[in-house]
Amino acid sequence: QSALTQPRSVSGSPGQSVTISCTGTSSDVGGYDYVSWYQQHPGKAPKLMIYDVSKRPSGVPDRFSGSKSGNTASLTISGLQAEDEADYYCCSYAGRYTFVVFGGGTKLTVL
């Protein structure tokens, strides 16, 4: 069982928006503004999409956005495109003893 809880799967049609949730506790997601999101295509290494809850690294389209409320973080992808179909993982700093935890991952299907 992963430390952070994500839905197993979400889906949407091209052009639509989808939101993936990531629920933790006050010891991780709720306690720090250090949530990141990764995209992983099959057989590939993960790619950083969002850091510090809502910031995008250079090169990541602004269709990807992040937010947080309490112990739940969210990744929203607007204007879905076929290439967005992938697994998405949230990640949070969890303090000086646990350090970093991942969510179980969410499979995004673009219909």
User: 38 vs 108, which CB is nearer to other proteins?
Assistant: 38
52 or 85: CB nearest other proteins: 52
Chain positions contacting other proteins, by CB under 8 A: 2, 32, 34-36, 38, 40, 45-48, 51-52, 57, 87, 89, 91-93, 97-105
The least distance separating other proteins from the CB of residue 13, rounded to whole angstroms, comes to: 26
Tokens 């049609």 map to which residue? 13
Dihedral Cα 11, 12, 14, 16, nearest 10 deg: -140
Residue owning tokens 């995004």:
108
CB of 87 to other proteins, least distance (A): 8
d(CA 18, CA 35): 18
